[in-house]
Amino acid sequence: GAVVSQHPSRVICKSGTSVKIECRSLDFQATTMFWYRQFPKQSLMLMATSNEGSKATYEQGVEKDKFLINHASLTLSTLTVTSAHPEDSSFYICSARDLATSGNTIYFGEGSWLTVV
Amino acid sequence: DAKTTQPNSMESNEEEPVHLPCNHSTISGTDYIHWYRQLPSQGPEYVIHGLTSNVNNRMASLAIAEDRKSSTLILHRATLRDAAVYYCILTGTASKLTFGTGTRLQVTL
> Which has more pLDDT, A98 or A46?
A46
Please tell me which of the candidates B43, B98, B102 has its beta carbon nearest to residue A108: B43
- Is the per-residue pLDDT at A72 higher than 90? no
Bridge partner list, B49: B34
Please tell me which of the candidates B45, B93, B98 has its beta carbon nearest to residue A46: B98
Residues 36-55 of B with CB under 8 A from A: 36, 41-46, 49-51
Please tell me which of the candidates A43, A49, A109 has its beta carbon nearest to residue B43: A109
**Cβ–Cβ gap B97/A34 under 8 Å:** yes
- Is the per-residue pLDDT at A41 higher than 90? no
The Cα A35–Cα A15 span in angstroms is 22
Stated length of chain A? 117
Q: Give the chain B residue nearest A50 (alpha carbons).
A: B96
* Average confidence (pLDDT) over A81-108: 91
Q: Strands B32-38, B84-91: parallel, antiparallel or unpaired by DSSP?
A: antiparallel
The Cα A113–Cα A11 span in angstroms is 6
Query: Under a CB-based contact definition with an 8 Å cutoff, are residues B49 and B32 in contact?
Result: yes
Q: Strands A10-13, A112-116: parallel, antiparallel or unpaired by DSSP?
A: parallel
A12-36 confidence digits (pLDDT tens): 999 999 999 999 999 888 889 999 9
Stated length of chain B? 109
∠ CA B12-B17-B19, rounded to 5°: 80
Nearest chain B CA: its distance from A93 CA (Å): 6
